[in-house]
Structure formats: C-alpha cells, structure tokens
Chains A and B, each alone.
Chain A
Amino acid sequence: MSRTHVRCRINGDDAEFLCDAGDALLDALRDEMGLMGAKEGCGTGDCGACSILMDGRLQCSCLVFAPEAEGSSIVTVEGIADGDRLHPLQQCFLEGAALQCGVCTPGFLVAAKALLDRNPDPTETEVRYALAGNLCRCTGYDKIVRSVLAAAAVMQQGKEEAAR
C-alpha cells in the first residue's frame, strides 16, 4: 500500500515525511526525521518519554497517528535550545544532576517547558502534578522537580533584568 506524505513544521522548520497510516508519530520523528530525542518507554501513554508539543499542546507522540501531524506545528526536545545556548531547563537539569541514564529526560524537559510556557512561576505541587505523566526509573523525582523550579526562577530573573 502506498505510504502517506505528511507536511508539517518541526522545531520551526518546514518538514515532510512518509509514513504508514498506523505508524506512531514517535516512530516517524525518530525513523523518518532522525530526531532521536523523543523516546519510546511504553508505547501506551503511561511514561511520557515520547512527549512533544503539537500546536502548543503537550502530547504523547506514541499515541498520535503519524498522519495526524499534517499541517501541524511540532516541537521536540531538539527544538527547545536557542542554537548553542541551552534552554534554562536544560542548564538547570545539568547543574542539578536531574538525570542519570537520560532516557526520560527529553520527555521531562518538554513537559516542563509546556508547564513554564503557561505558568512561569509554579509551586512545587504544580510542578509535581504537571510532571505526573512522566516516569523516571533512576534519578528519582526530587532533583527533577528542584531543577524545574530552579529554571523557573532563572527565567523569571531573566525577565526582570530585561525589563530593567
């Protein structure tokens, strides 16, 4: 059967790929687009390792059929840094040792970005709820939560300095 041709935007650039209708968007991103950031932990929506933003909304790319991406705008973990400058979340994860094996990290970063985009100054409880869809089997959640709070503080400070 012929494959489906999908056109969309990925991390700010026009992109196109071929897929089978039943493919997960996660597999198209990894296998067709070579974007290996999003990971498959479970394939069933439980672990969040495959998290991406689609039209600004946080989603599990393992639950999205690849053809659904037609015309959409996608952000993966590869798109959150500013060129060579890491996103404050990435910098704070590094400094806060919020990863060990790193398999869960792209998903946590994208989910945390989705949170800070809509709530730049979250409480610890809000961070924990916002990350409830992301599982980590090695680091534990404390360092991750602290690093997200640290990144929020850095970003708030950046905004205040820019306003001065």
Chain B
Amino acid sequence: MRYAAPTSVAEAVALLGTEPNSRVFAGATDLVPQLRAGRPEPGVAIDLKKIPRLTSVAIDDGTWRIGAAAPTSDLTANEALTADVPGLVYASGLIGSDQIQNRASLGGNLCNASPAADAVPPLLVNTAQAVVAGPDGERTVPVADIPTGPGRTSLRPGEFVVEFLIDRPPPGTADAYLRLIPRTEMDIAIVGAAARITLDADGSCVAAAIALGAVAPTVITVPAASGGLIGQPIDARALAAVAAAASAAASPIDDKRGTVTYRRQVAGVLAKRAVAEAAGRARNGDGP
C-alpha cells in the first residue's frame, strides 16, 4: 500500500483517476478495522484530511458547509452549528469515544454505508446535499441518494464527497436524534431515529421529516409517518400515529442486538420520541 496526502480537491481527483486501486479515507475508524478483518489493502490510501475544504466547518450565506473529513469533535465544539442542527450534532457526538471523535468524519460515516450509521438519519431529515468531486468535475446530490445498501454507495469510480451543504433551518424548526444501544456508550444502534419539525406560531406542524437507521439495508426516510403531521398540533394522537407508521415502515433483520419484532417496536417508540423532542425544541425556540 502507498499513502498519499493531497492538499487540493483537484490533486485528490487526479490521484484517484490514475491509481485504479485507490481509496480515500478520513479518520480510518471504519477502514482500519476492515483491513484488520482481512479486507484487501488499497493500492493507494488517499488521506483527505490535508485538504482545507474537506476539514472546514463554516456557514456561508445561510448555508452550512461541513467538510466531509472534519472530525466530529469539530462539530460538537461548534456552538453555532449546534444551535442550528442540535440533532445532527448530538448524533455526531454519539460516534464512538473521544479518541474516535477526533478522527471520525461525516463523509466516512455516510460512505461506509452502514444502515446503523448515526449521523445519516439527521443528515436526511435536514435534506443535506453532498458535493461530490470526480473526473467530470463537481456535482451536488441529495445525501439520501448516496447509500444504496450495506457497504455500497452510488458514488462512481473516481468520485468522493467533498462537503455537506445544509441550509440554515427556518425559524420554528428543530431536529432531534435518538438511538437505542445495548449499553450507554460505545455500541452500534439497535435502532436510530431522527426527526425535524417546523411549527407555526400556533404550534401547528407545517413541515416534518422522519428518518430511521438500522431497520433496513440503508437509512430510510418515512414520509408515511411525517406526512400525517402536517396541519396538526404535535399531540398524543399525532405521536401515536407516527409510532404506528414508523413501525410499519421498518423492515429490520434479526441479529445479536435485537429481533425483528423488537426493532420494529423500538422504531415506533424512538420515532415518536424524536418528533416530540424536535417539536419541543421548535416550540422553545431552541432551534435557529
């Protein structure tokens, strides 16, 4: 294996293009354990962390630009970002220990394409876009279009994610993320649920999105659960309907962390709690 640390997006694209068996990485917190488990080494490991655009986190004309290789500890330390998307920042802060958070990136979390990746449901409810660089230049795609199955993405050969774009949420909006794990730290989600809610001055819901992790081959959005909230107050009846729709949308697997029946049940419970938490934040003006 060779190691390369390009300092510009163009240089990284050129390297990926000339080295067929190359692979980008940021924190390597997924890559190294996979190599240890016997995955073949890439010919060239391309370190994205030396490209300034890939590690910067900034708001620009009402749009957050989050570098795909920025460590999650830079997100949790960013108070302005936390005020705007508390659910996304909370989810980023759940990824592993302090040691892991000084390396783990959102680009890696998304492109490793685990159905249980914690940062992905909140990216989806915030309708985040990914700027993708490749041999044909840059294109912007919805984050939701990138994972296609466990460990698989829609990125074409020679492409990588440069940054994520999230429009600053409108007033009366907030997000939330909840996950259930077998212990209190350092484990993989049995289920994860994200919600983003916008309320009008009367507390009636004018926009809603819900996404679930670990209950399908990719993270999924659940329009059937969020659609029913529009025009309603977020009350017990609305939350019960969210729970039922989220459970119905879940098609999980059985594994050591939970059975199908259990995961389905938990998907409903977490979805409704995430909606309640997001709505509470939106009501209190804890969002932007």
Contacts and interface: CB of A to CB of B under 8 A. Distances in A.
Interface residues of B, number: 26
A148 interface: no
Contacts, number: 75
B3 A65 contact: yes
A100 interface: no
Interface centre among A22, A63, A64, A67 (most CB of B within 10 A): A63
B45 A114 contact: no
A4 B29 CA distance: 22
A59 B99 contact: yes
Contacts of B97: 48, 132-134
B98 A111 contact: yes
B186 A132 contact: yes
A130 B41 CA distance: 32
Interface of A: 4, 20-22, 24, 43-46, 48, 51, 57-60, 62-65, 67-68, 70, 111, 114-115, 129-130, 132-134
B98 A114 contact: yes
A60 B45 contact: no
Given A22-B41, A24-B32, A60 B3 contact: no
B27 interface: yes
B135 to A, nearest CB: 24
B3 A67 contact: yes
B2 interface: yes
B1 interface: yes
A57 to B, nearest CB: 4
13 contacts: A21-B2, A45-B33, A45-B96, A48-B97, A48-B99, A58-B99, A59-B102, A63-B103, A67-B5, A68-B49, A70-B5, A133-B98, A133-B186
B26 to A, nearest CB: 11
Contacts of B27: 63
Contacts of A60: 99-100, 103
B247 interface: no
A132 B100 CA distance: 11
A65 B98 contact: no
